Chain A
Amino acid sequence: MSRGGPGLGSISASQSDYFQATRGGGHGDYRTIVLAPSSGQELADLTHRAFDLADKYQIPVIILGDGMLGQMMEPVEFKHEAPEELPIRSNALRGAKGRPSRIIKTFTSKPAELEEINWSLFRRYQLIKKEETAFETFLVEDAKLIVVAFGIAARIAKGAIKNARTNGMRVGMLRPITLWPFPSEKVKGLAKRTRHFLVFEMNMGQMIEDVQLALEGRGEVSFYGRPGGVIPTPSEVLRAVSRLYHQKGLELGK
């Protein structure tokens, strides 16, 4: 649950920890799956999914929320039944009963051995990218401008987009649900029809780097964000959307 930073900062909601969650911050050449819920219901669903993913791929999974999600109350339906018994993995430690003793470790004094461990993790990460990337799109089919936002910011942006639509602006939204793996292919695909992207985050611009990397120069990327635990309102985001829309002359069919 991200709060305003840096350091102790404040306890107000922020999305300042995108880099920390998606880029690591720990030791080693590693990745973690990062899930970004945007509602109470999704918080429940993704928490369930996080445990399943962690068990399936045997890597840590981070749920990246914010101080607002963490404190709000909403009706939630628990849709899933937990499996009664999880399978015991072939490398699980249960005591060396009727089999040779086992070691679970990553430490090795042999660089070549450690390189192989890294390659095997890398292959797992490639598989996760292929299998587990998740996102939501909203009114993107005819959009001239696509807002990219995650978590609670996406929910704020949705309100702004609905208002923009009633004002005749063709605006849509892409909401990454997995921040890693980032839906890069989807972003690239959207750029075939839409040239303009507005990244909206409650920070000084972190996910924007993933959007730019995904686009590889295929689109124009703008940014709107508020750091430090300030929570922007939908009307504020609408102003940013509207300004950009007109600046770029999108109402003229550009």
Chain B
Amino acid sequence: MTLRHDPTGTTADLEAALAAAAEAAWGVEALPEVQRAIPSAASALWRISQEPLDPTDVEP
């Protein structure tokens, strides 16, 4: 599972991908410190991924 933009992914997929990315960045021993933020972040990522934007839609 990756963190690429994938509207077909699920929040569970994103939670797993975030945990893997956090482990890679901070080490496995740091995962308990990060864990509490993962569900809401995964939910937010999933939610925005459900909003398609065409190349010509608004800029950041």
Query: Are A and B subunits of one complex?
Result: no
Binding site for B on A (CB under 8 A): none
